[in-house]
Amino acid sequence: MARAVRALRGAAGPGLERGPGAGPRVRFGPSPTGFLHLGGLRTALYNYIFAKKHRGTFILRVEDTDQNRVVPGAAEGIEDMLDWAGISPDESPRRGGSFGPYQQSLRLDLYRRASEVLLERGAAYRCFCTAQRLQLLRKEALRSQQTPRYDNRCRHLSPAEVAEKLSQGLPWVVRFRLEMGVEPFQDLVYGWSKHEVAEVEGDPVILKGDGFPTYHLANVVDDHSMGISHVLRGAEWLTSTSKHLLLYKAFGWDPPQFGHLPLLLNKDGAKLSKRQGDIFLERFAQEGYLPEALLDIITNCGSGFTEKQMGRTLEELISQFEIDRITTHSALLDLEKLPEFNRIHLTRHIENEGLRQKLIRDLQVLVEHVYGDQQVDQEVLEKEYVEQVLLLRKGHISLLKTLVSSDYSYLWVRPSVTREQLQSLSAEVDEIGKLVLGLMTRQTAALTVEELNKELKSLQKQTRETKYSTMMKLLRLALSGQQHGPSVAEMMVTLGPKEVSGRIHKALSG
C-alpha cells in the first residue's frame, strides 16, 4: 500500500513543495464538449481574478474523461477564447507547466495508481455487476418510484470471490465506498455545508472498464497533484463536494478550500440558453463585441466586487474583487444591455492612443471588406482619415461594424455627383458652395452637430432664394450622393472639414 501511495506522491509534481507564502493555485476545468459560453467564461474569470489578486497561478485543465462527449477541437477552442478574452492561463495544455499534462486523458496512469491505492486500503472495491443487472436495478427503482442507485452488492464480495472472478477474466470497474458520517466543510461562499451522500447514492464508479476515471476521481487526484489550493467552481458542484472530501480523506490528503459560485441565469431567472449558439464566445467575437464588455457584463450582474459601475477594465475588476463579497444570490444576466457595455468600452478604446491603433486597422479591414468592390478611394483608407472618423463617432456607436453599415456608407464611398444634378435643385449652387467652403476654413476647432446646425441656418439666410430644406437636400447630395441618411450636420461633423471641402469642390466642378 505504502508503495502505491508514494508513487502517487512522486507524480504529484513540485506543487507539494510549495513553500508557505506562495500564491494560490486555482484551475478552470472545462469539459471539451463544445464552445466556451458565458457561464464557463465567468467561472474562468473569477478564478483568474482570484489568482491575479493574490499573485497566484491560473491553470487550465481540460477534463476530457468522458470520451463519448468530447468534441474534436473544442479544447483548443476554449483556450483560444480565454486568450481572446484576455484571461490566458499560466499553465495549460498549450503552454505546459511543471504539473502537466493538463489534459486528463493523458493522465490515465495517475488515476489507475490512485484507484489501486484505494483498493489496497479497502476504500474502493472492484465491481463485476453487468450492464444488464444495473439496468434491472434502475427499472425496479423507477417502478417503485425511487431514485435509481447502485445497491453496493459487490462491496460484500470476499477476496476469494474477487480472485475467482478475476481469474475468469470478467470485466470490472472500481467503485468508491461511500461512508456515512460526512464532516461539514466551510464553503467560501455558501458557508458550512454537508451532504450525507451515502444516504442518497450508491457507491460511485471511479474507474471505468476502459481505464478512464470518472469525473470525481480525476478531479480530486488532479486538484491534489497539481497543488490546487482553492477550487472555485459553479454551485452545481456543491453537492458533489462532500463526496470529494470523502475521497480526500481516503487518500489521506488535505483538501483545498472550496468556493462555489452562484448560478448565472437569464434575467427572467431561467437557465442560460445555449440554443442558437446565443451565449457562445465565438458568436460575440464574430459580431465584434469587445472582450472587456463581456467580462464587465458577466461580473456586473453578480457579486464579489466593491463597486458596480459599468465600464470596468480587467485591472479594475482585479483590484475591486473581494471573495467575501460573493453572495449566494444567482446572477441575472440581461444581454440586452450588452451593446451599452460595448459602447462604453469601445469609447475607452478609441480614447486610448495604443488601443485606437488596433481599431484603426480593424476598421480599415472592415471597409475594404464591405466596400472594396465599390472601388473605394484609397484616401478614405488612410490612417488619419479612419482615425478621425473614430474620434468623431466615439460615444455614438456600440459596435465598430456600425461604421460600415449603409447609414455610414457616405464615409467610405465618395459620391460622383454632377453639377447639373445640383443645379436642378437650386440655381444658387455656386453661392451655397462658397458659403460652406468659407465655413469650413473658418472652422478652427471641430464643431458639434448642434453648433453646425446653427451655422447652416445662418448660411441659408445669406442665400437669395434657396429654402433651408432645399439647401440641405443639395448638400446631402453633394456630400453623400444620396437622398436619405443621417442629418447633414452629422455627416459634416463626421467627415471633417477637409473631406467636406474636397467633396464640395468635386461636385461643383463635376
SS3 125: strand
User: Among the candidate windows 28-36, 133-141, 304-312, 427-435, which touches ligand GLU by CB under 6 A?
Assistant: 28-36
Amino acid at 422: L
- Name which of 30 and 255 has its Cβ closer to ligand GLU: 30
C-alpha count within 13 angstroms, C-beta hemisphere, residue 163 = 3
> What's the closest the beta carbon of residue 323 comes to ligand GLU, in angstroms?
16
CA distances from 186 to 119, 323, 507 (A): 29, 14, 75
Q: Count CA atoms within 13 Å of residue 391 on its CB side.
A: 13
Which of 5, 24, 25, 29 contacts ligand GLU by CB under 6 A?
29
Nearer to ligand GLU, 33 or 453 (CB): 33
- β-pairing, 191-193 vs 185-187, is antiparallel
Segment lying near ligand GLU (by CB under 6 A), choices 25-33, 73-81, 270-278, 471-479: 25-33
Residue of 84, 185, 237, 248 that binds ligand GLU (CB under 6 A): 237
From 23-31, 79-87, 141-149, 150-158, give the range in contact with ligand GLU by CB under 6 A: 23-31
Task: Tell me the three-class secondary structure of 29-42, residue by residue.
Answer: CCCCCCCCEHHHHH
> Closer CB to ligand GLU, residue 185 or residue 237?
237
Kindly tell me which of 63 and 203 has the beta carbon lying closer to ligand GLU. Answer: 63
Q: What is the DSSP letter of 288?
A: T
Shortest separation between residue 307's beta carbon and ligand GLU, angstroms = 28
SS3 string of 13-71?
CHHHHCCCCCCCEEEECCCCCCCCEHHHHHHHHHHHHHHHHCCCEEEECECCCCHHHCC
Catalytic residue numbers?
A: 274
Under rule CB under 6 A, residue 63 binds ligand GLU: yes
Q: Whose Cβ is closer to ligand GLU: residue 219's or residue 300's?
A: 219
Q: Does 31 bind ligand GLU (CB under 6 A)?
A: yes
Residue 224 is a binding residue for ligand GLU (CB under 6 A) = no
Residue 255 engages ligand GLU in binding (rule: CB under 6 A): no
Say how far apart CA 298 and CA 293 lie, in whole Å.
9
Site for ligand GLU in 177-206 (CB under 6 A): none
- Selected from 52, 175, 233, 345, the binder of ligand GLU by CB under 6 A is 233
Provide, rounded to whole angstroms, the least separation between the CB of residue 261 and ligand GLU: 10
Which of 8, 24, 26, 30 binds ligand GLU (CB under 6 A)? It is 30
Place of cell 507564502: 21
How many residues of this chain bind ligand GLU (CB under 6 A)? 7
Q: Closest Cα partner for 95 from 73, 72, 76?
A: 76
How many Å separate Cα 213 from the centre of its chain? 28
Measured from the CB of residue 409, what is the shortest distance to ligand GLU in angstroms?
45
By CB under 6 A, name the one of 47, 57, 92, 219 that touches ligand GLU: 219
Question: And the C-alpha cell for 89?
Answer: 492561463
State whether the Cα torsion 338-339-340-345 is positive or negative.
positive
Q: What three-state secondary structure class fits 303?
A: coil
Nearer to ligand GLU, 40 or 496 (CB): 40
In three-state secondary structure terms, 271 is strand
C-beta closer to ligand GLU: residue 80 or 316: 80
- Decide if residue 398 touches ligand GLU (CB under 6 A): no
Considering only 26-34, 105-113, 267-275, 352-360, which stretch makes contact with ligand GLU by CB under 6 A? 26-34
393-398 CB contacts, 8 Å cutoff, 24+ apart: 393/494, 394/346, 394/347, 394/350, 394/351, 395/343, 395/347, 397/343, 397/346, 398/339, 398/340, 398/342, 398/343, 398/346
Which positions touch ligand GLU (CB under 6 A)?
29-31, 63, 219, 233, 237
